[in-house]
Amino acid sequence: MTTPWHRIESFAAQFSRCAVTAGQTAVVLTETESRSELVAAATTALDFLGAHPVTVTLPTPPNPGPVPIRSTGASVALAGHPAALAALKAADFVVDCTVEGLLHAPELPEILGGGTRVLMISNEHPEVFDRLAYDPTLVERVQKGRDVLAAATQMQVTSAAGTNLTIDLAGAVCAGSAGVVAEAGDIAHWPGGLVLAFPAAGTVNGTVVMAPGDVNLTFKEYLRSFITLTIENDFITDIQGDGLDAELFASYLAAWQEPEAYAISHVGWGMNHQCRWDALPLYDKADINGTELRAFAGNFLWSTGANETANRFCRGHFDLPMRDCTVALDGQPVVIDGQLVDGLA
C-alpha cells in the first residue's frame, strides 16, 4: 500500500501537536477489521518523527447481536488481553486505530493510569483527514467551552421544533476534545471539536423533538420525519412520530431488551467550523464513522446508551446531532438556534 505523502505529513503534524518527539515509544493499536490506510499513515508518520512505533493487532471479535453495532466508542477488541495492555501502558503515546475506539472501553482507565497519551483516530475515510484542515483556534475554544460547562449547574436545550430538555449538571463529568492530546494520562479523538457532559443518574428530563435534517449516526442517515421523545429521569419513556424514522428508532432500542439502551449517555455541542453537516451523502455508509457530523459547529449532540458516570453500561448506542437548537448554561446561551455565541465561535 502506498500512502500519499501529504497524508503522512498531516498525520505527523497532528502527532507533533500531541507532543510526540524523536525517541518516544509509540504503539499503533489495530484490529483485523481496522482501516488499513489509517494504520499505514499513522505508522509511517511516527517513523518520520523519529519515534519508536510498534503495531499491536488484535482479532476483531464477532458481533453476538441482536442487531448491528456501530459507533459506540467502546472497542471490545482488547478484551483485557494482558500482553496488549502491557504494551499500551508502557508506551508514551498510543495511536488508537481500532474500529470503535477506546474512548469508552473498560480498559481505558488502566491504560491512562500510567501516563500514556492516547489519540483515537476515528474510523473515517482517509479523505476526511485530508479535508479537515487544522484550526489553530480549536484547542483554546474547546477548552473555554469545557470550562464554562464544568462551572455550570444546569443545561437547558430548546428549539422551535419543540425540544425542551433540562440537564442537572451536579455530579456530571465534563469533557472536551480538540483532536489534540499533549498531557500525560489523557485521551482525545481526531477529528475533534466537541464539548460534552456525562450526566449523573436521574438528572435529565424533558422533551426532545428531532426534526428532518437531524442525524441518526448509528444508522448514518438524516431524519426525514419528526420524532418526539419524552425523557424522565434519564430514560426515554415515550417515542412518537408518524414516519419510518420513529419506527426504526423504537425498533432498534427495543431489540436490546435492556433498560440501559433507553438511557441518556452524554449531551453537548459541536465547535468545529471545518466539519460539515451535509457531508453524509458523499460517502458510502461503510466508509465513515461520522465524527465530522458529531463535531460540526453549533449542533446539539445527545446520545443514548452507556454512561459510566451514571454507572450504566450497554452495547447499544445512538449518537444524534441536531440542528437549530439553543443550548444554555445557567440561563446563558452557548449556542443560539444552531450558531455558536461570540467567544466560542
Percentage of the chain with pLDDT > 90?
92
46-74: per-residue pLDDT in tens? 999 999 999 999 999 998 888 888 878 78
Taking alpha carbons only, the member of 99, 53, 54 closest to residue 78 is 99
Distance CA 123, CA 33 (A): 10
Q: Starting at the earlier edge strand, list the strands of the sheet with 154-159.
A: 235-240, 227-232, 204-210, 164-168, 154-159, 325-329, 332-336, 339-340
125-160: per-residue pLDDT in tens? 999 999 998 999 999 999 999 999 999 999 999 999
Give pLDDT, residue 104: 85
User: Cell 450526566, residue?
Assistant: 199
Mean pLDDT for all residues in the chain = 96
Right CATH for 5-121 from 3.30.450.80, 3.40.50.2300, 1.10.540.10, 3.90.650.10 = 3.40.50.2300
Note the helical H segments in 184-290. 244-255
**Is the pLDDT at 293 greater than 90, yes or no?**
yes
Instruction: Assess contact for 116 and 89: CB atoms under 8 A.
Output: yes
How buried is residue 133: exposed, middle or buried, by Cβ count under 10 Å (0-12/13-18/19+)?
exposed
How many C-beta atoms lie closer than 10 Å to residue 330's C-beta?
12
Give pLDDT, residue 166: 98
Give pLDDT, residue 323: 98
Residue 51: helix, strand or coil by DSSP? coil
Global pTM reads: 0.94
Alpha-carbon torsion 244, 224, 205, 144, what sign? Answer: positive
Give the chain's length: 345
> What residue ranges do the domains of the chain occupy?
5-121, 138-340
Return the beta strands (E) in 82-203 as ranges: 93-96, 117-121, 154-159, 164-168, 173-177, 187-190, 194-198
Percentage of the chain with pLDDT > 70?
100
The grid coordinates listed for 46 are: 511516527
Residue 211 CB partners (closer than 8 Å, separation 6+)? 159, 161, 223, 226, 322, 323, 324
**Is the pLDDT at 173 greater than 90, yes or no?**
yes
User: Cell 430514560, residue?
Assistant: 235
Distance CA 196, CA 320 (A): 13
Residues linked to residue 206 through DSSP beta bridges, in sequence order = 165, 231
Taking alpha carbons only, the member of 166, 175, 123 closest to residue 147 is 175
Instruction: Assess contact for 165 and 157: CB atoms under 8 A.
Output: yes
